[in-house]
Amino acid sequence: MHRYEIRLSGSGGQGIIMAGIILAEAAGIYDGKYVCQTQSYGPEARGGASKAEVVISDEEIDYPKAVKPDLLLAMNQKSCDMYLFDLKPSGTLIVDSSLVKQLPTTRAFTLPFTRIARETLGKELVANIVALGALVELTDVVAPGSLEAAVLARIPPGTEDLNRKALEAGIEAARQFLAQRTESMIDADSLDE
Amino acid sequence: MHRYEIRLSGSGGQGIIMAGIILAEAAGIYDGKYVCQTQSYGPEARGGASKAEVVISDEEIDYPKAVKPDLLLAMNQKSCDMYLFDLKPSGTLIVDSSLVKQLPTTRAFTLPFTRIARETLGKELVANIVALGALVELTDVVAPGSLEAAVLARIPPGTEDLNRKALEAGIEAARQFLAQRTESMIDADSLDE
């Protein structure tokens, strides 16, 4: 992996920056990669937008910010609209379909992180951890074990169980999404015949 | 303030990265400055060293990392040794005197953040918040009210009281340090006569 750029985005209170730190520590401390993790605040910070970037590389990193992200996670509509066009043409888009209703592309992973956190786990606050579980299942950007270790090292004591379940729910949702997509691809193939 | 570079450093578990985020949010969200906050992980991350950088400016920030810090906070001996010589010649050095015993300069603010957290507040974990209180009292890098707002927005619910007390203890320790220094300067002046 020469250089892989990730941008996580959403609104303040969605745990975007914590997700960025956890992902960076999974890659940097547990996977042993070079990682730069950044957040920038400007006039948009006062508008409640939240953005965290993680650049992962096998080599030392010169410029620490994401220039043309390989992966964009958009946890709300505004951040999807704002950052979609920064994404590399071949890049991966993952959106929280509970909050992103208008998608200008069909080439996206759409998973309801916030709804899963609220309905399955009873705690909307862990939508960021659900999203991380799914993101790693979909992209292999860090080892799943590294992600779990990084999550457990960062969360408040006593919430280990909840956060482990949040990770698993994210992984499971990603697997279901991939399985359904494969099915619909097979259906489309049958139509071709 | 054209560009002010801060590096916070210590060991993993001292809350260095959380301190970086809080300081960045105080400046970016509450003081309305442009801010970049970064952490980099490389081989040293596996050694347990922890470093967070905050660059604050009135203008948009081109390069987000600290090149020649104006301010270094060193929360342990290793980080003091490692980063001291990056500091700008006129820069400010603040060290946790509970853990930094060898100082190659007398031009430093030496305050026992960890001891204050343990003995006064009964919780070593808030040494980072004690340090932030002192840092802001000593440097005016963000408004004290902005720091408090940023702390309260980031800490686990139910710990508001502890963290407010930690901030106050840091501010008070900084004031005492300054007062003692002024006293000893006055003593030195009397000797000159």
Domain residue spans of chain B: 4-192
- Ramachandran class of B15: left when φ > 0, alpha when ψ lies in -120 to 50, beta otherwise: left
User: What pLDDT shows up at residue A192?
Assistant: 57
Question: Is the per-residue pLDDT at B104 higher than 60?
Answer: yes
Topology (CATH) of A4-192: Pyruvate-ferredoxin Oxidoreductase; domain 3 (3.40.920)
The dihedrals phi and psi of B122, each to the nearest 5 degrees, come to 70, 20
Strand ranges, E, within B58-165: 71-74, 92-96, 109-111
A176, exposed or middle or buried, with CB in 10 Å at 0-12, 13-18, 19+? exposed
Q: What is the pLDDT of residues A59-109, one digit of tens each?
A: 999 999 999 999 999 999 999 999 999 999 999 999 999 999 999 788 899
| Mutation for B interface: A30, A40, A155, most B CBs within 10 A | A40
Question: Is the per-residue pLDDT at A35 higher than 90?
Answer: yes
Question: Buried b / exposed e across B141-155, counting CB within 10 Å, b at 16+?
Answer: bbeeebbbbbbeebb
CB nearest B45 (choices: A29, A61, A64)? A29
Q: Does B40 touch chain A (CB under 8 A)?
A: yes
User: What pLDDT shows up at residue B119?
Assistant: 97
Question: Is the per-residue pLDDT at A47 higher than 80?
Answer: no
Strand ranges, E, within B29-76: 34-41, 49-57, 71-74
Distance CA B60, CA A65 (A): 14
Question: Is the per-residue pLDDT at A8 higher than 60?
Answer: yes
Question: Is the per-residue pLDDT at B1 higher than 70?
Answer: no
Q: Does A17 touch chain B (CB under 8 A)?
A: yes
Structure tokens at B5: 């570079």
Tell me which amino acid residue A135 is: L
Question: Is the per-residue pLDDT at A193 higher than 60?
Answer: no
User: What pLDDT shows up at residue B175?
Assistant: 97
Q: What is the pLDDT of residues B16-35, one digit of tens each?
A: 999 999 999 999 999 999 99
User: What pLDDT shows up at residue B191?
Assistant: 62
Average pLDDT over every residue of A11-26:
96
| Confidence band for B186, pLDDT divided at 50, 70 and 90 | confident
Handedness of CA B35, B12, A71, A118 (dihedral sign): negative
| Confidence band for A16, pLDDT divided at 50, 70 and 90 | very high
Q: Does B19 touch chain A (CB under 8 A)?
A: no
User: What pLDDT shows up at residue A4?
Assistant: 98
User: What pLDDT shows up at residue B47?
Assistant: 76
Better pLDDT: A2 or B53: B53
A40·B36 Cβ contact <8 A? yes
Chains A–B, number of C-beta pairs less than 8 Å apart: 76
Q: What is the mean pLDDT of chain A?
A: 93
B40·A61 Cβ contact <8 A? yes
Task: Pick from A43-52, A124-133, B96-105 the range whose average pLDDT is largest.
Answer: A124-133
B29·A21 Cβ contact <8 A? no
Contact B38, A38 (CB under 8 A): yes
Better pLDDT: A50 or B186: A50
User: What pLDDT shows up at residue A105?
Assistant: 82
| Confidence band for B192, pLDDT divided at 50, 70 and 90 | low
User: What pLDDT shows up at residue B183?
Assistant: 79
The crossing angle, in degrees rounded to 10, of helices B16-25 and B144-154 is 120
Question: Is the per-residue pLDDT at A188 higher than 80?
Answer: no
B residues 120-159 near A, CB within 8 Å? 156
- Residues in A closer than 8 angstroms to B27, CB to CB, are 41
Q: What is the mean pLDDT of chain B?
A: 93
Strand ranges, E, within A12-154: 34-41, 49-57, 71-74, 92-96, 109-111
How close, in Å, is residue B40 to chain A by CA atoms? 4
User: What pLDDT shows up at residue A187?
Assistant: 74
| Confidence band for A191, pLDDT divided at 50, 70 and 90 | low
Contact A143, A31 (CB under 8 A): yes
Question: Is the per-residue pLDDT at B100 higher than 80?
Answer: yes
- Residues in B closer than 8 angstroms to A156, CB to CB, are 156
How close, in Å, is residue A44 to chain B by CA atoms? 9
B28·A45 Cβ contact <8 A? yes
How close, in Å, is residue A184 to chain B by CA atoms? 41
A41·B21 Cβ contact <8 A? no
- Residues in B closer than 8 angstroms to A40, CB to CB, are 28, 34-37, 61, 64
